[in-house]
Amino acid sequence: MTPSRARVSEVATLLREAAHAEIMPRFRRLAPDAVRAKTGPLDLVTEADEASERVIAAGLERLFPGCVVVGEESASADPAILDKLAGADLAFVVDPVDGTANFAAGVPLFGCMAAMFLRGEVVAGWIHDPLGDDTAIALRGEGAWVEDAEGTSHGAMRVAEAAPVARMVGAVSWNWMPEPLRSQVPGRLPRLAAAVSYRCAAHEYRLVAGGHAHLLVYNRLLPWDHAAGWLLHAEAGGYAARFDGKPYDPARHRDGGLICAPDRASWDAIMDALIRGA
**CATH, residue 136:** 3.30.540.10
* Mean pLDDT across 106-129: 97
Reading phi first (left if > 0) and then psi (alpha if -120 to 50, else beta), residue 139 is in beta
Domain of 146 in residue numbering reads as 5-156
155-200 pLDDT tens trace: 899 999 999 999 999 999 999 999 999 999 999 999 999 999 999 9
Whether residue 83 contacts residue 99, with contact meaning beta carbons closer than 8 Å, is answered with no
Is residue 98 domain-shared with residue 235, that is, in the same domain?
no
Identify the H or E element spanning 57: helix 47-63
Is residue 182 domain-shared with residue 265, that is, in the same domain?
yes
Q: With H, G, I as helix, E, B as strand and everything else as coil, classify residue 220.
A: coil
Is residue 185 domain-shared with residue 122, that is, in the same domain?
no
Which of residues 268 and 5 earns the better pLDDT score? 268
**What pLDDT was estimated at residue 58?**
97
* Mean pLDDT across 35-46: 73
Is residue 184 domain-shared with residue 149, that is, in the same domain?
no
* Mean pLDDT across 117-145: 97
Task: Tell me phi and psi for residue 69, to 5 degrees.
Answer: -115, 120
Is residue 134 domain-shared with residue 268, that is, in the same domain?
no
Is residue 10 domain-shared with residue 125, that is, in the same domain?
yes
Q: With H, G, I as helix, E, B as strand and everything else as coil, classify residue 154.
A: strand
Is residue 114 domain-shared with residue 77, that is, in the same domain?
yes
Is residue 77 domain-shared with residue 44, that is, in the same domain?
yes
Whether residue 115 contacts residue 228, with contact meaning beta carbons closer than 8 Å, is answered with yes
Q: How many helices (H) and strands (E) does the chain have?
A: 9, 14
When divided into structural domains, the chain yields a total of 2
* Mean pLDDT across 204-222: 97
Is residue 200 domain-shared with residue 172, that is, in the same domain?
yes
This prediction has a pTM of 0.95
Which CATH number is 234's domain given?
3.40.190.80
Sheet holding 169-172, edge to edge: 194-196, 169-172, 215-218, 258-261, 239-241
**What pLDDT was estimated at residue 73?**
84
Q: With H, G, I as helix, E, B as strand and everything else as coil, classify residue 169.
A: strand
Looking at 156, 173, 207, which one is the last position of a domain? 156
**What pLDDT was estimated at residue 74?**
87
On average, the pLDDT of the chain sits at 94
**What pLDDT was estimated at residue 104?**
92
**What pLDDT was estimated at residue 79?**
86
For residue 40, list its beta bridge partners. 43
* Mean pLDDT across 261-275: 98
* pLDDT above 70: residue 252: yes
Is residue 151 domain-shared with residue 173, that is, in the same domain?
no
Is residue 30 domain-shared with residue 94, that is, in the same domain?
yes
Task: Determine what percent of the chain is predicted with pLDDT higher than 90.
Answer: 83
Is residue 143 domain-shared with residue 262, that is, in the same domain?
no
